[in-house]
């Protein structure tokens, strides 16, 4: 049975949250209700993550096989490929041929980054505004149109299909940026970030730090901290410590987060606006920034605001403090 195979494999969601895939599929299978759905999330709105696009380019059939497998497993009424706008436009013709006769619908995401959050995705497919839902209830019991729903990342369905075929080799996909040989790599999931950089020939010869898990919400880590596996969506962005201006990096993040903010909750809407405002001043207000970051971390309605806090807090603690001490 595929659910037991998923559990034995240890496969966890590849979208960032890392929830055990077997447990999620089992929860939907066992949830009461005659109508169930499966959604493949190919929003991939996090900067510096490109693996899902690579999979659509090179292994779309396997992804579709994984979605179809999930549908059979939970007896789903319909499946959806929830695609980022440019992915939809680029791969529509190819994917339509692959889903023919499988009751899988291609859905073009109308919004941006936040549209990839699992409850926002449900709201969008239902025709509502792109805003997150309060959890619980979770999608496994009350998802699309109030029905139990499997929502997994594109890579997760790819891996599930590989497991069912007996071809899974405990690998995952890594997106590397800011290195000599950027791109998407498939490597063992057990590798540490240092090993990933070394095995791909991308370990820097200069002092550096990385943003791990995503190019906006990912945590900043020093080179001394790279003895752990890559978190989040499998992204590693390398920054030259001597050439990178921490304040400029924070400005870049703040601009991204203000552009992608849904505006639903006050802490996130106002917090990101104030961060942008502070970073525009001649002198950087570190205490004020830390206060806003703490508020975002504790009071944001959904993971978006917490992701802002994750990036800013780790940069301030590990890089900004180090930089100011040198001055």
State residue 290's pLDDT score.
93
Instruction: Inform me whether the pLDDT recorded for 326 exceeds 60.
Output: no
pTM of the model: 0.94
In whole angstroms, give the CA distance from residue 89 to residue 227.
Answer: 39
Instruction: Inform me whether the pLDDT recorded for 87 exceeds 90.
Output: yes
Strand stretches in 134-270, DSSP E: 149-153, 171-177, 183-188, 208-212, 219-222, 235-240
Instruction: Inform me whether the pLDDT recorded for 327 exceeds 60.
Output: no
State residue 324's pLDDT score.
61
Strand pairing class (235-240; 171-177): parallel
Q: Where are the alpha helices (DSSP H) in 36-172?
A: 51-58, 60-74, 85-99, 118-125, 154-164
The per-residue pLDDT of the chain, averaged, comes to: 93
CATH 3.90.230.10 is right for the domain spanning 171-240: no
- Return all residues near 245 (Cβ < 8 A) that are at least 6 apart: none
Question: Cis bond leading into 127, ω under 30°?
Answer: no
State residue 299's pLDDT score.
81
Instruction: Inform me whether the pLDDT recorded for 314 exceeds 70.
Output: yes
**Which 3 state secondary structure label does DSSP give 105?**
strand
In whole angstroms, give the CA distance from residue 146 to residue 33.
Answer: 10
Instruction: Inform me whether the pLDDT recorded for 151 exceeds 90.
Output: yes
State residue 323's pLDDT score.
65
Considering Cα of 49, then 50, then 52, then 55, what sign does the dihedral take? negative
Q: What percentage of the chain reaches a pLDDT higher than 70?
A: 98
Tell me which DSSP letter residue 301 carries. Answer: S
In whole angstroms, give the CA distance from residue 223 to residue 239.
Answer: 10
Contact 192, 229 (CB under 8 A): yes
Task: Please give the CATH number for the structural domain made up of 246-326.
Answer: 1.20.1440.230
Domain ranges (residues) in the chain: 2-164, 171-240, 246-326
State residue 154's pLDDT score.
96
Q: Cα torsion at 273, 278, 280, 283 (round to 10°)? A: 180
Contact 60, 94 (CB under 8 A): yes
In whole angstroms, give the CA distance from residue 118 to residue 11.
Answer: 19
Q: What is the pLDDT of residues 186-218, one digit of tens each?
A: 999 999 999 999 999 999 999 999 999 999 999
Question: Cis bond leading into 137, ω under 30°?
Answer: yes
Contact 236, 174 (CB under 8 A): yes
**Which 3 state secondary structure label does DSSP give 134?**
coil
Cα end-to-end span (Å), the chain: 61
Task: Please give the CATH number for the structural domain made up of 2-164.
Answer: 3.40.50.11540
Tell me which DSSP letter residue 224 carries. Answer: G
């Amino acid at each position: 049975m595929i659910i037991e195979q998923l559990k034995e494999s240890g496969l966890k969601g590849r979208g960032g949250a890392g929830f055990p895939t077997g447990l999620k599929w089992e929860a939907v299978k066992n949830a009461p209700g005659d109508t169930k759905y499966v959604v493949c999330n190919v929003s991939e709105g996090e900067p510096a993550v490109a693996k899902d696009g690579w999979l659509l380019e090179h292994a779309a059939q396997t992804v579709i096989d994984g979605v179809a497998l999930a549908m059979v497993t939970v007896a789903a009424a319909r499946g959806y490929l929830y695609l980022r706008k440019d992915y939809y436009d680029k791969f529509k013709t190819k994917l339509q041929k692959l889903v023919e006769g499988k009751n899988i619908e291609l859905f073009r995401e109308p919004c941006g980054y936040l549209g990839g959050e699992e409850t926002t995705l449900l709201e969008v497919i239902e025709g509502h505004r792109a805003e997150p839902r309060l959890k619980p209830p979770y999608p496994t019991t009350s998802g699309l149109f109030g029905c139990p729903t499997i929502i997994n990342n594109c890579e997760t369905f790819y891996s599930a299909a590989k497991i069912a075929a007996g071809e899974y080799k405990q690998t995952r996909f890594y997106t590397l940026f800011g290195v000599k040989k950027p791109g998407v790599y498939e490597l063992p999931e057990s590798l540490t970030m240092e090993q990933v950089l070394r095995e791909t020939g991308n370990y820097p010869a200069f002092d550096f730090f990385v943003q791990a898990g995503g190019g906006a919400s990912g945590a900043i880590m020093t080179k001394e901290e790279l003895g752990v596996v890559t978190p989040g969506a499998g992204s590693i962005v390398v920054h030259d410590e001597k050439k990178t201006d921490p304040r400029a990096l924070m400005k870049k993040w703040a601009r991204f987060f203000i552009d992608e903010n849904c505006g639903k909750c006050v802490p996130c809407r106002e917090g990101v606006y104030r961060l942008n405002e502070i970073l525009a001043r001649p002198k950087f207000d570190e205490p004020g920034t830390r206060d806003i970051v703490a508020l975002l971390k504790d009071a944001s309605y959904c993971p978006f605001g917490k992701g802002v806090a994750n990036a800013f807090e780790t940069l301030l603690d590990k890089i900004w403090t180090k930089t100011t001490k040198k001055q």
